[in-house]
A and B are shown apart, each in its own frame.
Chain A
Amino acid sequence: MLVTDAYGQESAPAADGGQGGEAPADAGHVAGTEVPHEGGHGEASFPPFDSTTFPSQILWIAITFGLFYMFLKRVIMPRLGGILEVREARIAQDIDQANKMKGDADAAVAAYEQELAAARANANTIGQKASDDAKAEADAKRKSIEAGLGQKLAEAEARVAKIKDAAMQDVGSIAEETAAAIVAALGGKSAKADVAAAVKSVRS
């Protein structure tokens, strides 16, 4: 009995809705839409096409969507846009900084290499100089030692010559004496000057 009651109420506004306006059909239809189990017989009772609910739905969608739009426009979009902008700026800045740092690092490497080359050249010159100095010193020492040795050699030679001369002179006098003795022993008489001349001629 409840079902038939509801169906009866449903069919009346269904015809009403089909004929025309939304304004006349209100009170009767309220009961119709509230009946939950009615099988969906009438076409006008198909809920999405039930025009009596339209004013309410339009009003509420306008309110809710309008609020949503305003909220997004005023609060969310500036916020999200700001977040993305800040991030982009930060990334660009970081890339800039990284590039700058890379430039610094490159410059540092170049400076280091230049310094290294300079130090190496410096070391070479110092080594060269030291070796040259050492060589020159050694040369000088060797020369002085050689000079000293030469001098000593000359002195020694002079002494040998002197000794030899002295010896030779001695040899001359000994030979004269010996020759005079030999001549005397042979029974001859000899002049001292002759013997000396003979000895001299032999020696020379």
Chain B
Amino acid sequence: MATPDKVDPIHQFHINKLVDLHVGGFDVSFTNSALFMVVTLVVASAFLLLATSSRALIPSRLQSVAEMSYEFVANMLRDAAGKQGMKFFPLVFSLFMFVLVANLLGMFPYFYTVTSQIIVTFFLAMVVILTVVVYGFYKHGLHFLKLFVPSGVPAILLPLVVAIEIISFLSRPISLSVRLFANMLAGHITLKVFSGFVVSLSALGTVGIAGAVLPLGMAVALTGLEFLVAFLQAYVFAVLTCMYLNDAVHPGH
């Protein structure tokens, strides 16, 4: 505790084991990260269950929020992938709600931000990409590969374009997961750094306390920004999911 760098912005991302579990040589311990996945699951499910429990014709505020998110995602998917894309609605809606609730829960002090773990966001991205690939091949067979061959491209350019398309397709899970992960990670680190400034400056006496006002203001402003980012990243994740699913439904460009 006596060490000068006690304000460690990375500390919040540490994985602590709560229940030690080993299955088949793998360490699958129940960690604080897993705990907050469960918290996310419970909070999001309880909210949706509670909000829709009355099934009121004239919605209460809570029910309005649930309906708004439902229609928000439904419109998003319908705009991007059309009517045939609506069979993926449960997937997109659960992705959106899960990421949104996980992001927002991360805004509570001492809460763990599940989406600041690259492996978690990568898992979610792979769920999307695998859905696209599996459904694409299942529905269209080899025609799904037309995705990589845009129509109306000169024959000479075709190998280059196909290579670019394949690379862009392969980079999708990475960009999808890194975007969410990096946003949440960077936002929380920035918050922590500015809050750390407040603490260490105010330890310097009167001048320090006066100076600490500036980073405090920044921390407050950043908190607001982080709430925006929490929503925005869930939205971006869902929108990109919709666009990728559109490729599975309509492979030809």
Taking a contact as CB atoms under 8 Å apart, the answer to whether B89 and A77 are in contact is yes
**Given A40-B8, A57-B120, A84-B71, A73 and B27 touching (CB < 8 A)?**
no
Does B143 make an interface contact (CB < 8 A)? Answer: no
* CB of A87 to closest CB in B, whole Å: 6
A61 part of interface (Cβ distance < 8 Å):
yes
The reply to whether A37 and B38 form a contact with Cβ atoms under 8 Å apart is no
The verdict on A87 contacting B57 (CB below 8 Å), with A53-B31, A53-B33 known, is: yes
The reply to whether A68 and B26 form a contact with Cβ atoms under 8 Å apart is: no
Residue of B nearest to A33 (CB): B15
**How many cross-chain pairs have Cβ atoms below 8 Å apart between A and B?**
154
- A65 CB within 8 Å of chain B: yes
Summarize B's interface: helix, strand, loop or mixed: helix
Say yes or no: A56 contacts B94, CB within 8 Å: no
Chain B residues with CB under 8 Å of A71's CB are: 45
A59 to B123, CA, bound (A): 10
Residues of A within 8 A of B171 (CB): none
Contacts of B11 in A (CB 8 A): 36-37, 40
Partner of A84, one of B1, B33, B70, B94: B70
Q: Which residues of A contact B89 (CB under 8 A)?
A: 77
Q: Cβ of A79 < 8 Å from any Cβ of B?
A: yes
Most B CB atoms within 10 A — which of A54, A61, A80, A90? A61
Smallest Cβ-Cβ distance to B26: which chain A residue: A55
A15 interface residue (CB < 8 Å to B): no
B44 at the A interface (CB under 8 A)? yes
Question: CB within 8 A of A76: which of B48, B119, B127?
Answer: B48
B13 to A47, Cβ gap below 8 A? Answer: yes
Query: Is B49 in contact with chain A by the CB < 8 A criterion?
Result: yes
| Pairs A–B under 8 Å by Cβ, sample size 20 | A33-B14, A37-B1, A39-B8, A53-B31, A53-B117, A53-B119, A56-B28, A56-B31, A57-B31, A57-B117, A60-B37, A62-B123, A65-B94, A68-B45, A69-B90, A72-B93, A76-B48, A77-B90, A80-B66, A83-B59
**Which positions in B face A, CB cutoff 8 Å?**
1, 3, 5-6, 8, 10-11, 13-17, 21-22, 25-31, 33-34, 37-38, 40-41, 44-45, 48-49, 52, 55-57, 59, 63, 66-67, 70-71, 89-91, 93-94, 97-98, 114, 116-120, 123-124, 127, 181, 185
A interface, CB within 8 angstroms of B: 3, 23, 26, 30, 33-34, 36-37, 39-40, 46-50, 52-65, 67-69, 71-73, 75-77, 79-84, 86-87, 90
